[in-house]
Structure 1
Amino acid sequence: MEKRMKPGQRVVVALRKMIASGELADGERIAEIPTAERLGVSRMPVRTALRTLEQEGLVARIGARGYAARGPTISQVTDAIEVRGVLEGLAARIVASSPPAPQLAQKLKDCLAQGEALFAKGYLEEADLERFYTYNLAFHDLLVDASNNSAIAYALSRNNHLPFGSAAALALDWDDLPATYAHLSAAHRDHVAVCDAILSGDAEEAEQLMRRHARAPLANGRLTHAPML
Structure 2
Amino acid sequence: MSARLPVPAADDSGGSQGVKAQLRLREMILAGELPGGARIAELTLVEILGVSRTPIRAALMRLEQEGLLEALPNGGYAVRTFSERDVADAIELRGTVEGLAARIAAERGVAPEVLAEARDCLASIDRLLERPALDDEAFTRYVDLNQRFHNLLSDMCASPVIVREIERVVNLPFASPSGFVVVQANSPRARDMLIVAQDQHRQVLAAIEQREGARAEGIMREHARLAQRNLREAVLGQVRMPGVRLIRPQ
1:152 counterpart residue number: 162
1:107 counterpart residue number: 117
1:201 counterpart residue number: 211
Aligned length: 211
Q: Which amino acid aligns with 2:85?
A: S
Tell me, what secondary structure is at the counterpart of 1:122?
A: coil
- Partner Cα distance (2:187, 2:227) in 1: 17
Distance 1:25 1:43, change over 3 A: closer
1:72 counterpart residue number: 82
**Percent pairwise identity:** 34
Structure 1 gaps of 5+ residues are 32-41
String of CA shifts for 1:15-58, please: whole Å, max 9, x gaps. 64x56xxx985225799xxxxxxxxxx979xx9x9998655323
User: How much is the aligned-residue C-alpha RMSD, in angstroms?
Assistant: 4.2
Instruction: Report the TM-score, using the length of structure 1 for normalisation.
Output: 0.70
Instruction: Report the TM-score, using the length of structure 2 for normalisation.
Output: 0.65
Distance 1:11 1:124, change over 3 A: farther
1:36 counterpart residue number: none
- Partner Cα distance (1:127, 1:11) in 2: 24
How is 1:200-219 mapped onto 2 (pairs within 5 angstroms)? 200-219=210-229
Offset at 1:217? 2.4
Structure 2 gaps of 5+ residues are 5-18, 42-47, 51-55, 245-250
Task: Please say if residues 184 and 190 of structure 2, whose CA atoms lie closer than 8 Å, have aligned partners that are also in contact.
Answer: yes
Larger radius of gyration: 2
Distance 1:174 1:86, change over 3 A: closer
How is 1:163-182 mapped onto 2 (pairs within 5 angstroms)? 163-170=173-180, 172-173=182-183, 176=186, 178-182=188-192
String of CA shifts for 1:66-86, please: whole Å, max 9, x gaps. 986433111211221111111
Higher alpha-carbon deviation: 167-176 or 108-117 = 167-176
Return the match for 1:133 from 122, 143, 146.
143
- Partner Cα distance (1:83, 1:30) in 2: 30
- Partner Cα distance (1:74, 1:111) in 2: 32
Task: Please say if residues 13 and 170 of structure 1, whose CA atoms lie closer than 8 Å, have aligned partners that are also in contact.
Answer: no
Does 2:41 align with 1:26? no
1:222 counterpart residue number: 233
Q: Which amino acid aligns with 1:83?
A: L
- Partner Cα distance (1:114, 1:81) in 2: 26
Q: Which amino acid aligns with 2:141?
A: R
Distance 1:177 1:9, change over 3 A: farther
1:39 counterpart residue number: none
